[in-house]
């Protein structure tokens, strides 16, 4: 198997600009509304909570439905960290034969598989002769709810 470094157009780098939001000091039940909604505890910066390494973190938009069974849908924005060492079971952005794909990494006994999270799609077994690399590890999925 040839492990290649992908040289493709880079996604948009996340800005260093701080994004401050009010953070409540309690957990929110997914039931009835809380009367304490006016009592916020502190302001947080989403960069501090979502980004481990700003210089290596990118946001990419999802196209397709091969990962819907774990809640990754068309149009979602994935945070990808290129500094994280990919591990078995991680959701990764892989490049196989010049094509990008988001899949679960299966790496056992010298065999590498890219596993979709939608039963309609087949598992991709990476063959020796294929150009293959892991571009980065998915750390968060930003899914719009409205």
Hey, which residues are catalytic here?
66, 103
Buried b (16+ CB within 10 A) or exposed e, 3-22: eeeeeeeebeebeeeeeeee
Length of the chain: 146
3-state secondary structure of 36: coil
Locus of tokens 């590890």: 137
In angstroms, the CA 42 to CA 20 distance is 10
Q: DSSP E strands: which ranges in the chain? A: 2-3, 12-13, 20-24, 40-45, 57-61, 77-81, 91-96, 99-108, 111-115, 124-125, 131-142
């Amino acid at each position: 198997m040839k492990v290649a470094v992908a040289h493709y157009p880079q996604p948009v780098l996340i800005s260093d600009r701080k994004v401050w939001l009010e953070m409540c000091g309690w957990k929110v039940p997914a039931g009835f509304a809380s009367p304490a909604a006016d009592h916020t505890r502190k302001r947080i910066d989403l960069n501090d909570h979502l980004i481990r390494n700003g210089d290596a973190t990118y946001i990419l938009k999802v196209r397709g439905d091969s990962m819907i069974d774990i809640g990754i849908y068309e149009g979602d924005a994935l945070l990808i960290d290129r500094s994280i060492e990919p591990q078995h079971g991680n959701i990764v952005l892989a490049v196989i034969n010049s094509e990008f794909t988001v899949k679960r990494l299966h790496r056992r006994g010298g065999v590498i598989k890219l596993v979709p999270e939608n039963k309609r799609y087949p598992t991709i077994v990476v063959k020796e002769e294929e150009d293959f690399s892991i571009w980065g590890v998915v750390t968060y999925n930003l899914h719009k709810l409205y």
